[in-house]
Amino acid sequence: MVDGDNGLSIQRKRPREKIEENEQEDMEFLLLLMKFFLILVAICHRCKHRYRELRLCDQNVRDYRRKMWIRLLDDEKVCLHQLRVTRQAFKKLCDVLVEKGGLVATRYVTIKEIVALFLHILAHGLKNSSGSLTSPFVKVSTTLFSFSSRAI
């Protein structure tokens, strides 16, 4: 309001109860907002861990298949069919590649797996793509390429 004589504005004072009520409403709104963000973060966190659990499950299945495939190579007939070499020749080839060729196992793949993958590709005339290779331990074509180049 404006005082007619002085031209000064006069502000109305709000009662203390209304100020406290407005502050309480603001606090309730902030708490509600914080609860919403907390729930949102919890949902995102759970989804992230769920994806990780699924990925670990896939990794465990892949590891199991890979180990079973390598164990199957201990059978003479399977080794001859899959790699087109005998079991003894496969073991000698692994030893020669390690001693003279300098082939080194990685953190995730053993020497036997690298050589088996390489021989499997050669034996079956497979291309460098993950779709054409049905071996249980191949994930992507770049991995396949790096293992093949190490074996060469």
pLDDT of 63: 79
Half-sphere exposure of 12 (CA within 13 A, CB side): 5
Over residues 44-101, the pLDDT tens digits come to: 777 766 666 666 677 777 778 888 888 888 889 988 888 999 999 999 999 999 999 8
Residues near 93 by Cβ (< 8 Å), separated by ≥ 6?
Answer: 85, 115, 119
Over residues 2-53, the pLDDT tens digits come to: 555 555 555 566 667 777 778 888 888 888 888 888 888 877 777 766 666 6
Count CB-CB contacts under 10 A for residue 141: 15
pTM check: above 0.85: no
Asked if the model's pLDDT at residue 133 lies above 60, the reply is no
Torsion of CA 46, 50, 56, 60, to 10 degrees: 140
d(CA 93, CA 126): 21
Asked if the model's pLDDT at residue 141 lies above 50, the reply is no
Please give the residue that has the higher pLDDT: either 109 or 54.
109
